[in-house]
Amino acid sequence: MEIDLSFTFIAVIFALGFIGSFISGMLGVGGSIIKYPMLLYIPPLFGLLAFSAHEVSGISAIQVFFASIAGVWAYRKSGLLHKELIIYMGGAILLGSFIGSYGSGFLSEEAVNIVYGILAIIAAVMMFIPSKTVEDTSVITFNKVLASSLSLIVGIGSGIVGAAGGFLLVPIMLTVLKIPTRMTIATSLAITFISSIGGSIGKIITGQIEYWPAFIMVLASIIAAPLGAKVGQKMNVKVLQWLLALLIGATAIKIWIDILIK
């Protein structure tokens, strides 16, 4: 794709990166669940060339790397980063994300969109499942094999679409592993960062990244993600959960309508 670095292009891409990264920092996700459809659909509305699914996934992979590390930095002194969860889930998702991102280079545009649509539906359904999570963060126990296995699977799927898996990690940690919500949001950002390393490497190797748009979105991420994380620490827990569920649900519906129409 030939990039036209006009003021409109820079402003639109920066705005998309800022909005997506603010939400990702606030909700504890890498932001690709939001930015993937935004990058696909919004630039053409301003008369800009449309990105392909591979280009969107490549831009998202690089951007998520910086958005997640900026978000983690904002949580560094919160006491909500669970080291054992980060080690077990982070190690597994790192391997999975590299496998998925590298393999995506051999998939068609439609296949990448279909994978995204499947992941979005799963995430939306999981977020609407009632959870009886105890908000006490003093004692945390979890099934290490289950946590690692689910992280590996999430890594493969999310690596394909340039995501780091935060939008699936959050509902898994809440509903399956029974991790307190605020600890889930903080810890998932750290695991998302680790996942984004494998995802970014795979996209770079397979040549799926448009570097100028990625650079613009990274700048927006560095500013917006920490701001979102600070807001998220002050918001009501239930509001955070429902906001994420509604965003994921709306995205899933939109992407599947487009897939089925085509």
Q: Structure tokens of 59? A: 């831009």
> Has residue 49 been placed in a domain?
yes
Q: How far apart are CA 55 and CA 48, in angstroms?
A: 14
- Residue 58: CB partners within 8 Å, gap ≥ 6? 162, 203, 208, 209, 210, 214
Predicted local confidence at residue 137, as pLDDT: 58
Give the domain extent around 86.
Answer: 7-261
Residue 213 has phi, psi (to 5 degrees) of: -60, -40
**Amino acid sitting at position 80:** L
List the pLDDT tens digit at each of the 262 positions of the chain: 556 678 899 999 999 989 887 877 776 665 677 788 888 889 999 988 888 888 888 888 888 787 777 778 877 777 788 889 999 999 999 999 999 999 998 998 888 888 888 887 887 777 666 655 556 556 678 899 999 999 999 999 988 988 777 778 888 888 888 888 888 888 888 898 898 899 899 999 988 888 889 899 889 888 887 888 788 777 776 777 677 777 777 777 877 887 788 6
Indicate the residue type of 201. Answer: I
Domain count along the chain? 1
| Residue 2 belongs to some domain of the structure | no
DSSP state letter for 172: I
Distance CA 34, CA 31 (A): 6
Q: Is residue 176 part of a domain?
A: yes
**From residue 160, how far is each of 73, 77, 98, 156, 240 by CA, in Å?**
26, 33, 9, 7, 27
Secondary structure of 26-53 in HEC code, one letter for each residue: HHCCCCHHHHHHHHHHCHHHHCCCCCCH
Question: Is 66 a member of any domain?
Answer: yes
Whether the model pTM is above 0.85: no
Looking at the domain assignment, is residue 31 inside a domain?
A: yes
